[in-house]
Every structure is written in C-alpha cells, then in structure tokens.
A and B are shown apart, each in its own frame.
Chain A
Amino acid sequence: MNGAYLLSQVANGLILGSMYALIAIGFSMIYGIVRLINFAHGDIFTIGAFATLASIAVIQAPFPVVLAIVLVVGAAVGLLIERAAFRPMRGAPQVTGFIASLAVSIIIENLAVLTVSAQPRTFAVPAYLNRLIPLGGLNVRMIDIAIVLLAIILMIALVLFVRFTKIGVAMRATAENYDVARLMGININRMIGIAFAIGSALAAVAGLMWGTKYGQISPLMGVLPGLKAFVAAVIGGVGSITGAVLGGYVLGMAEVLFVGLLPPEYSGYRNAFVFGALILVLLVMPNGILGRSTEQRA
C-alpha cells in the first residue's frame, strides 16, 4: 500500500461519488416535495445513457450538443412520467406511489429491452476525452476530470437556482409545507413538474457520464446505481439537495475504499456493505447527515 495507490482510489471514489450525487439529487428533490420514492429514477439514468448513444451514433453531434440533448431528453421523460403515472394518483397512500414507480420502472426497462434489445452496447467517445493527463503522480483521463467538474458545475447551478430565483423559493416553500404553499397561491403542479424535470435531467447526465466512462450500456444498467443513489440520498438526508450531494460523495468514496483497502476476498460484499450502511444510518441517524426532522421515520 503506497501513497499513489491510495490517491488513485480516492480519485476513483470521487468520480463514482459525482455520479451517485447527481442521481441522488433527483431522488431528494422529488421526495422533498411529493414524498415519493421514485424507483423509475434509475431508469432515467439509463435513458440518458441511450440518448447519448443515439446522439453520438445517429446524428454525430459534438459533445456539448450531446450534453444538451441528454438534459432535454431527461427532463422530458421526467415530466412525462409525472404527468402520466404519478399525478393521477396524488393523494393516495405513500405506498401506492412507491409501487406505481416500480411499475413505471419495469415498463421502461422492458420497453428498452424490446426496442434496443438487451445486448450490451458500446459507443465511441471523442478521442480528446480519453487523453491521459498526468496529475501529481496520477494518470487521470480527461473524461474523469470532465465528470467531476461537470457534476460540480451542475450542482452549484442548482443550489443557486433553488436559493435565489423566485421559482426556487416557491419550490422550497412547497417542500416545507405543501398545503400552506398551495394556500399562498403557488402552483403546486408546476413546482412538482419542475422538480421532476430538473431531477431527471441530472440523472440523465449521470447516465451520459457512466456510459462514457465505462463504455458499455444496457437496458438494465440503471437498476443498481439507482438503488445506490437512493441510499446516498438517505445517508445525506432525504429532501436536502446538499445532503444528497454529500451522501453521494460519502457513498462513492466508501464503496471504492471498501473494495480497494480490504483484502480482495471481501470485495464480493460490496453491495451488502452499501445496504448494510443504509440500514445502519436509518437506525442511528434517521434523518441522515443533513436532513431535518420533519416527520417520523423510526
């Protein structure tokens, strides 16, 4: 074990954490407003990856255009799902929404299997993204730096948006107290729509990153990252955007270090570790690191 090894593992954790954080934000925003755990969120991540594939392979768009397309596709799918599946059952028990989101998830996954087949697919990344850059004894690829920077820029933009714009204030008010916000004349449907659109767009960008980094995408790729991002959101404190970001990085880092620092025979327990951590956090800090106690969980 040496310094460079540790450093490269930390870099890996940072990259994985950036992607978890982007997905977790959506979970948190949606939960914060409608108290819905949206299991279809991981599938929007998948859709983002396939939108990337399509825009690179079919129309050969340059990378910034691809990014824009993925953001728009993600937001559109998020809005569509909210309108078609979740709005009609608003007001039903929490569990109903949860099951509905699982149903939506299964529909999207199988639709993807039917249309693009379940075979893993690959896409070519522009060569400049694959360039190796020496960075303090480490060889880091351009794409890795791009992932971390892009994630940070998007997250800062979101925080500024929520804090300082009129819509952002209205969204926070809705999350604070749904009924009072409605009485104050805030258009609740619009706020929910915006939360779905932003959250989904970010998850789709995470899909783009995942696909470019790992190079292979398939219709079911979103299941596990989606669930883990949810764990990240809970660790950070569901409902809090900064909490989701923090949770994402904590989880990404912990997961990579778990595999990297322990002897190889334990790396198989990777998923058990993630979900074990979830249960532990729920029991010890039911509101997560940054969540406020707004309701009873335990």
Chain B
Amino acid sequence: MYNFTHVNANSIDDATAALAQGNARAIAGGTDLVTLLKGMCTLNPPEKVVNLKTIPNMNYIREEGGSLKIGALTTLTAIAKSDVVKNKYTALAQAAKATASPELRNTGTIGGNICQKPRCIYYRAELNTFSCLRKDPSGMCYALAGINKRHSIFGAAAGCVDVCPSDIAPALVALKAKIATNKKTWDAADFFVVKGEQINSLDADEIVTEIQIPEPASGTKSAYVKFAFRKSIDFPLVSVAAVISADDASIVLGGVHPQPRRASAAEDAIKGKAIDDASATEAGDVATQGSTALGENRYKIQITKVMTKRAILACA
C-alpha cells in the first residue's frame, strides 16, 4: 500500500479545497480505491486521501421536482432496496443489486461506482509491472494482443480496449440521468469517457454530489441484465440497460466498450413495436452492429445479442 495522509472533509467546499491542492484522491466507500492503493498499480499515487463520508446530507433517495435524486454517498444496497427505485427506475435498482457482492454493496456508493478505475488485467497488475496506456501515455495497450477475454468488442477508445466496469453507468445513460458535481451538471451520456486512468470526465478537484433521473413517462418499463462468469461477484462481461415506453426505447450496453454504448440499431428495431420474442430477437441481433472481436472475446458478440433480447423482453 502507498503511504498517504487521510483527511476528513466536513463539506463539499472542504473536499474541493483539499483536492485542489494536488495529488489527492477522494474516497467514499473505498472499495475500489483501497484495492488500487494496496496493489500499487498507479503511477500517480495520492499523497492525500480525502474522505467524503464525513460530509453530511449526501446520503438520500428522494423524488423531487419531477425527478429522482440520489445523494452521491448513497450505498448500492440502499438503492437496490429502495421501493421507489425498484418501481419506477427498475434498471437502476437491478444494476445496483447486480454490482459486486452484498458486503461491497453495503459499503460502495453510487458516486464511487461511477468513478472507479479501469479493471483491465494489465492496468491492475500490481507494482505497475506493465506500462499500461491508461496510466502511462508512453505505454501501450497490452490487451490488444494479449489477454482480452473481457475486453471491448467495439474497438478502442483513446487506444485502450478495456471496458467500462460500472454496472451503474449503462443504467444511468439509459435512464437519461444527469450527474451533478461541485462544478457542473453532466448528462450521463457525456460523463463517461476515457480520460487517463479515469472512466469519466471529472477534473481532479471535481466531486460527484448527486444523481438526478427524470421521472419516466407513464407506462415506461426498464430493466438491467448482466452476464458474468461468476454469479456471486464479478464485473460485467456484458450488460444491457433497456428503458422502453410506447414510443421510445433506450438501450445501452455495458462491459463491451470503454464507455457505455448506446445500441442505436437495437433501439430503432424495437421502437414502437410490441415486445415479443421475434421483435426482441431482431433487436438483439442488430445490437452488435459494428462489433469487432479481439483474439479471445468473440463469444461476447453472441452474449450481447442474447442479453439485449433478454433486457427487452424484461420490459414487456
């Protein structure tokens, strides 16, 4: 583990100021950051870790002004168990429940989940034994010609073929969520990018404060389905968030690209149609348009088709 100083923030301003001093990282549940620090797999280890959990009033789920608002420190367990989330924003509840294990969901927060670092096996190799492109611009993407069973089937982003590891991310994009920080409010669709070691657009002193999700139109149904080798605890190999109403469809793929990826062709294929096995199969089949398998992950194309179909059928 790297040595660092630990600072409790009492407010967002406190945290912002601490982070702005440089070479600092925010910590909430710590389920990702601590493993990164213990594994010593970053070239820029923080000298300071800023604890956000001591900031009051950032742990809530409430409906307000036509949208659902979730404090960034709300645990994944609370989201998975929330009746309002389960009933109206089903895909998000299912994504929260599909994340990690019960212990990690009890600790991990929604803010942390969308700020986690890449899970690529080369990025995470301990003691920085591989000069992974995500942490070293002069490095390379080892997965391209190496171990890539879990990697992208839609090519690289910024030279990296890792996938966005967040279960929550595709659900938020599909639900057209906004992500509020101490600096601005992002559309979820713009929030997730490849930015060095980050999976999102945040500045070094930017902190996620709240998730805002517009109330779905009456009759809208949503679902999140996930495929992983291990059912008890695993990152998504393929996941699909689907939000479908009478005249609209939003289908977002997870685990198949460095960013959550809208399956536009699948959306077009199902939009306005009755959901049945045939229409869902048709949409699933086109969900992988433009995909290109790497050496070990051709299977993910098949899985993506099937998971897309199942997510759509779950919205029937």
A and B bind: no
Instruction: Identify the A interface with B (CB < 8 A).
Output: none
Instruction: Identify the B interface with A (CB < 8 A).
Output: none
